[in-house]
Structure 1
Amino acid sequence: MSQHLRNRLGSIRQLRVFLSVYELGSVTLASQALNLTQPTVSIQLRQLTELIGMPLYHVVGKKLIFTQAADTLAKYANELLDTIDRLEIELADLSEIKAGTLKVAVVTSAKYFIPHLLGSFCRTYPRVDILLKVDNRGNILARYHQGLDDIYLFSHLEPQMEPYSIQFLPNRLYPVAPKDHPLAHQSHIEPEDLLKYPWLSREPGSGTRHAIDAHFKKLNLQFKPNLVIESNEAIKHCVIAGMGLTILSEYALEDQPGGDLVKLSIAGFPILTSWHIVQAPLKHQTPLSEAFIQHATEGTALGSIISTPN
Structure 2
Amino acid sequence: MDQRHLSFRLLQVFRQVVQSGSITGASRLLHLTQPTVSLQLKKLSEVIGEPLFYYQQHKLQLTAAGELLYQTAQDIDERLTELSQQLKQQRTGNSGTISLAVVNTAQYLLPQILAAFDHAYPAVQVTLHIGNRARILERFEQQQDHLYLFSHPPRGDNVHARSVVPNPLYIVAPREHWAAKADSLRFEQLTHERFLLREPGSATRMTFDAWLSSQATELHHSMQMETNEAIRLSVIAGLGLAVLSAHTLPPATLLRQQLAVLKVAGFPLSSHWYLVQHANKRLPQAALKLQHFIEQHLSDWQDPLQQ
Tell me if both proteins adopt one fold, taking TM over 0.5 as the criterion. yes
1:246 aligns with 2:242: yes
Corresponding position of 1:140 = 136
What TM-score comes out, normalization by structure 2 length? 0.67
- CA shift, 1:205, in A, is 0.4
Corresponding position of 1:92 = 89
Cα distance in 2, alignment partners of residues 280 and 163 from structure 1: 5
Amino acid at match of 1:137: R
Q: CA RMSD in A?
A: 2.3
Give CA deviations for 1:24-69 in whole Å, capped at 9, x if unaligned.
Answer: xxxxxxxxxxxxxxxxxxxxxxxxxxxxxxxxxxxxxxxxxxxxxx
The answer to whether the 8 Å contact 1:88/1:99 transfers is no
Change (3 A) 1:301 1:269: closer
Cα distance in 2, alignment partners of residues 162 and 176 from structure 1: 37
Alignment equivalent of 1:110, drawn from 102, 106, 110? 106
Cα distance in 2, alignment partners of residues 229 and 195 from structure 1: 19
**Seq. identity, %:** 32
- Where does structure 2 lack aligned partners over 5 or more consecutive residues? 1-83
Amino acid at match of 2:293: H
- Corresponding pairs, count: 221
Structure with greater Cα Rg: 2
Equivalent position SS for 1:160: coil
- CA shift, 1:209, in A, is 0.3
Corresponding position of 1:276 = 274
Corresponding position of 2:160 = 164
Change (3 A) 1:306 1:130: farther
The answer to whether the 8 Å contact 1:90/1:286 transfers is no
What TM-score comes out, normalization by structure 1 length? 0.66
Amino acid at match of 2:284: T
Equivalent position SS for 1:187: coil
- CA shift, 1:193, in A, is 0.8
- CA shift, 1:190, in A, is 0.3
- CA shift, 1:258, in A, is 7.9
- CA shift, 1:257, in A, is 7.5
Equivalent position SS for 2:270: strand
Corresponding position of 2:260 = 262
Change (3 A) 1:193 1:177: same
The answer to whether the 8 Å contact 1:184/1:264 transfers is yes
- CA shift, 1:244, in A, is 1.1
1:120 aligns with 2:124: no
Give CA deviations for 1:165-216 in whole Å, capped at 9, x if unaligned.
Answer: 1100110100010011110110110011110211111000001100101111
- CA shift, 1:259, in A, is 2.7
Cα distance in 2, alignment partners of residues 214 and 297 from structure 1: 27
Cα distance in 2, alignment partners of residues 212 and 106 from structure 1: 20
Stretch of structure 1 that moved more, 119-128 or 154-163? 154-163
1:213 aligns with 2:228: no
- Where does structure 1 lack aligned partners over 5 or more consecutive residues? 1-86
Corresponding position of 2:193 = 197
Change (3 A) 1:88 1:104: farther
Equivalent position SS for 2:304: coil
Change (3 A) 1:269 1:89: farther
1:153 aligns with 2:142: no
Equivalent position SS for 1:254: coil
Change (3 A) 1:287 1:183: same
Corresponding position of 1:78 = none
Equivalent position SS for 2:144: coil
The answer to whether the 8 Å contact 1:161/1:278 transfers is no
Equivalent position SS for 1:176: strand
Q: Detail structure 1 runs of 4+ shifted over 4 Å in the superposition.
A: 87-90, 255-258
Give CA deviations for 1:87-138 in whole Å, capped at 9, x if unaligned.
Answer: 99864244x4521011000011011111112122222212110100111111
Change (3 A) 1:106 1:208: same
The answer to whether the 8 Å contact 2:148/2:277 transfers is yes
Give CA deviations for 1:209-242 in whole Å, capped at 9, x if unaligned.
Answer: 0010111112221246520000111111211222
Cα distance in 2, alignment partners of residues 268 and 162 from structure 1: 34
Cα distance in 2, alignment partners of residues 286 and 89 from structure 1: 14
The answer to whether the 8 Å contact 1:106/1:133 transfers is yes
